[in-house]
Amino acid sequence: MIHRRHLLAAFAAAPLPVLSRAARAQTVPPWTEVLAKARGQTVYWNAWAGDEKTNDFIAWVGAQTRARHGVAVQHVRLKDTAEAVTKVVAEKAAGRLQGGGVDLIWINGPNFLAMKDQGLLHGPVLPVLPNAGLVDTTNKRSNVVDFTTPVDGMAVPWRLAQLVFVHDSVRLPPADVPRSAEALLAWARRNPGRLTHPNVANFMGSTFLKQALVDLSPDPDIFQRPATDAGFEAATTPLWAWYDQLRPVLWRQGRQFPENAAAQRQLLNDGEIDITLSFNPSEAAVAAQAGLLPESVRSFTFAKGSIGNTSFVAIPFNAAHKDGALVVANFLLDPESQARAQDIRQLGTANVLDAGKLSPEQRRLFEALPGHPALPHPSALGAIQLEPHASWMTRIAAEWSRRTAR
């Protein structure tokens, strides 16, 4: 998800026995049987609760699945996804192989990798869902590869994040936006002090460097493999050559950095800088409507596209209400749900579906959504580039800290 956390210490300290491939491939019954068994169940959906719009969306999903299929949803509100993963780990260690307390988890990144590798997920589940055929697996590759980990149907995509650059079109006209890392450097040189990025300790700051790394590399596929000492130095040489030129012309000469994306957005709103970052293509429109940014803001990506990732839901291996969880997961892929999530009055998140697979009626759900001048058309966002392997960012953050401490 957009809100990401590191691997649990529990996995490193006390790794659990890894189940065989055959043991992991648990049988999922036909859909009619799933619906019959699910009726009357309450699904305990463990999900980060740090955003009220997301909380409202989860409540809406529960109301819909209850009305349509007799499946209720109880939102177990988390501060960190690791809380739910820890619970599943503890249940397995205690021998609770059925009737677990977690039915569905909003998950991605290291937590998904850990649960998949330790055999803590039920599935594959995606192939049995009627709406799975609508998922875009070609142009939205993060739907099937999560932070370099093949999903293999063990989780269900439900919302998409993609890096965009947000600018005030009065100060920086759309025709002049820099569409590559090299162009961004050239623009910053012509406009010293008008660009910055969040501290790299924050994920938006690290994503800024990851985006430059991928854009500057002649072979970005190497970042899908773990970094090595020799490989890291060679692959990041273009990045540091670029950044060494960029830093002196950043806001406050690159000696200070905003704490996070919200702080950088405020700098844009105050007129101190001309470009900020977001992992949500709808954020400029939502912020403009809320008065947090001027109505003249617009968004752009690099010509090659930008880094994106997908949020998933997954079902633990010992979930007490697997059938109900499958019904909820399938409803999240329903075009009605995806259109509601994309609505800037609701979540404003990008959908995970392939428009070419939708019926005319289903496409009209998206065509009827309210627009906004700051809301980019999906075709303007370019390709979604896969997140590099986590080992690259760990090393890049350490090297950035060393260089900026000079």
Cα–Cα distance for residue pair 155/177, rounded to 1 Å: 37
State the CATH number of the domain containing residue 196: 3.40.190.10
| Residues in CB range of 282: below 8 A, 6 or more apart | 342, 344, 348, 349, 350, 375
- Which two three-digit tokens encode residue 396? 């890049």
Residue 77 bridge partners (DSSP): 47
Count of the separate structural domains present in the chain? 2
Is 390 within the bounds of a domain? yes
Is 4 within the bounds of a domain? no
pLDDT attached to residue 23: 38
Give which of 235, 243, 240 is closest to 185, Cα–Cα: 243
Give the residue-averaged pLDDT of 13-41: 66
Instruction: Say if residue 42 is in the same domain as residue 113.
Output: yes
Instruction: Say if residue 296 is in the same domain as residue 353.
Output: no
**Contact, 353 vs 135, CB < 8 A?**
yes
- Tens of pLDDT, residues 117-159: 999 999 999 999 999 999 999 889 899 999 889 999 999 999 9
Domain that holds residue 141: 9-159+308-375
pLDDT attached to residue 28: 60
Half-sphere exposure of residue 315: CA atoms within 13 angstroms, side-chain side: 29
Is 381 within the bounds of a domain? no
Whether the pLDDT of residue 11 is over 50: the answer is no
pTM listed for this prediction? 0.83
Cα dihedral 367, 368, 369, 370 sign: positive
Cα–Cα distance for residue pair 251/246, rounded to 1 Å: 10
Instruction: Say if residue 126 is in the same domain as residue 172.
Output: no
Whether the ω angle into residue 124 lies within 30 degrees of 0, i.e. cis, is yes
pLDDT attached to residue 51: 86
Instruction: Say if residue 138 is in the same domain as residue 185.
Output: no
Instruction: Say if residue 251 is in the same domain as residue 392.
Output: yes
Cα dihedral 371, 215, 108, 69 sign: positive
pLDDT attached to residue 4: 40
Half-sphere exposure of residue 238: CA atoms within 13 angstroms, side-chain side: 16
- Tens of pLDDT, residues 260-301: 999 999 999 999 999 999 999 998 998 998 888 999 999 999
pLDDT attached to residue 99: 97
Instruction: Say if residue 204 is in the same domain as residue 276.
Output: yes
Instruction: Say if residue 190 is in the same domain as residue 93.
Output: no
Mean confidence (pLDDT) of the chain: 91
Is 19 within the bounds of a domain? yes
Give the residue-averaged pLDDT of 316-338: 98
Give the residue-averaged pLDDT of 33-53: 95
pLDDT attached to residue 17: 38
Whether the pLDDT of residue 9 is over 50: the answer is no
Whether the pLDDT of residue 26 is over 60: the answer is no
Q: How confident is the model at residue 355 (pLDDT cuts 50, 70, 90)?
A: very high
Is 1 within the bounds of a domain? no
Instruction: Say if residue 215 is in the same domain as residue 255.
Output: yes
CA angle 160, 163, 169 (to 5 degrees): 125
Is 101 within the bounds of a domain? yes
In terms of average pLDDT, the best of 26-30, 52-56, 313-317 is: 313-317
Instruction: Say if residue 294 is in the same domain as residue 170.
Output: yes
